[in-house]
Amino acid sequence: MTEADQPVDVLRHYLARAREALLWKLEGLGERQLRLPRTPTGTTLLGIVLHCANVEIGYFGPTFARTWPEPDHPALIPMDVYDADPQADWTVPADLPAAELVAFYARVGAFADAALVELPLDTPGRVPWWAEDRSATTLHQIAVHVLCDLQRHAGQADILREQVDGAAGLRPATSNVPDGFDWPSYVARLTAIADTFPD
């Protein structure tokens, strides 16, 4: 088994790719486009990043008695704020520029990565906001949990970005989307199949 095959390195690799995929969906858009709600529940591209940043801080921080080093940063949402506003970590303040949030999230990624480098995967932890009877966990479980969450949100961002300007794909180096494909014809074919069924 090579070093790259070690479970911790596999987890670090895929967590990094998830962050990369998510941030790629912000590239080339202005502040308004990044903040504009795209769903009936108000999901925004920039809001997804704020949420993911706070998810990683929480799971790789307090869960393992680790302290985030920037307690006063405007992108950090304190736990007590959620009682008054359960969507606080999806709402990017107007005075927090997108570029600063992206830079913040890069630091969050380094913070999470450091936990995986410094602590064994079987390190016990406790998730403060989970029910007491299931709050006990390990770093391995949390890494997988966060990876699943990040990939889910990267997928959301992929669809939101495609709705903005048609940009689609997995990540910059590998779009995973066929080049030169006749998308209008493909959509028409799928629509024709769907139309054979009643609502």
How far CA 21 is from CA of 8, 102, 178, 181, in Å, comes to: 20, 13, 18, 22
**pLDDT computed for residue 170 by the predictor:** 78
**pLDDT computed for residue 4 by the predictor:** 62
pLDDT means per 10 residues in the chain (199 residues)?
Answer: 78 97 96 97 98 98 97 95 96 98 98 98 97 97 98 97 89 79 94 96
Residues 6+ apart with CB under 8 A from 96: 74, 75
The continuous run of DSSP H or E covering 124 comes out as strand 124-126
Q: Are strands 136-138 and 124-126 parallel, antiparallel or unpaired?
A: antiparallel
**pLDDT computed for residue 2 by the predictor:** 58
**pLDDT computed for residue 176 by the predictor:** 82
**pLDDT computed for residue 1 by the predictor:** 47
**Distance between CA atoms of residues 68 and 100, nearest Å:** 17
Domains of the chain from N-terminus onward: 3-194 (1.20.120.450)
Q: Based on the number of CB atoms within 10 Å of its own CB, is 162 exposed (0-12), middle (13-18) or buried (19 or more)?
A: middle
